[in-house]
């Protein structure tokens, strides 16, 4: 739920359909179109959100990758979340285009819950390295999504 509420899609929806004064009121939340999902679908969202919280945590000073700022890794993980949210909301369009994220994210983003800090860092680093691989489905689908689903994706990504 947290990942959906913080997604670019909900931001776009808010800016285009709810906000006249750029203020968010509790009643506004009632009209947000939240898609319900099974726990299996929620798992990759939870894993990514938990990883981002560790990457950007206030007390966290260690680099996940010594050559890449943590903020860059977090931004990349947020892009994956945004793509997964769009897949939830535009399921048929994504299926027609042959683009998927949630199943691959479930495979590539392991849970860090209950792990020690060094284990968490290693798990997050492995996920980042996997995402950087040339033949990674998530990486390639992020690019394809912008091309094949531009009419859906670009207005959402452009919302400020």
For 31, counting Cβ atoms within 10 Å of its Cβ (0-12 exposed, 13-18 middle, 19+ buried), the class is exposed
pLDDT of residue 70: 93
Domain span including residue 54: 2-158
**Residues 115-135 pLDDT 10s:** 998 999 999 999 999 999 999
CA nearest neighbour of 139 among 59, 54, 62, 80: 80
Q: What share of the chain is helix, strand, coil (3-state, %, to 5)?
A: 70, 0, 30
**Total number of domains in the chain:** 1
pLDDT of residue 77: 97
Contacts of 4 (CB under 8 A, 6+ apart): 10, 34, 35, 45, 85, 88
pLDDT of residue 147: 96
**Residues 54-79 pLDDT 10s:** 998 855 567 899 899 999 999 999 99
**Residues 27-55 pLDDT 10s:** 655 555 556 665 457 899 999 999 999 99
């Amino acid at each position: 739920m947290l990942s959906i509420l913080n997604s670019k899609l909900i931001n776009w929806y808010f800016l285009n359909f709810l906000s006249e004064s750029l203020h968010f009121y509790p009643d506004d939340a009632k009209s947000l179109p939240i898609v319900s999902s099974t726990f299996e679908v929620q798992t990759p969202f939870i894993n990514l959100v938990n990883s981002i919280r560790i990457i950007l945590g206030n007390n966290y000073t260690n680099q996940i990758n010594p050559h890449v700022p943590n903020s860059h890794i977090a931004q990349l993980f947020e892009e994956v979340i945004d793509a997964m949210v769009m897949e939830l909301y535009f399921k048929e369009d994504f299926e027609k285009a042959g683009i998927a994220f949630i199943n691959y994210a479930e495979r590539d983003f392991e849970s860090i819950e209950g792990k020690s800090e060094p284990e968490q860092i290693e798990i997050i680093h492995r996920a980042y390295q996997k995402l950087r691989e040339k033949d990674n489905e998530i990486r390639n689908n992020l690019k394809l999504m912008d091309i094949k689903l531009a009419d859906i994706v670009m207005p959402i990504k452009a919302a400020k």
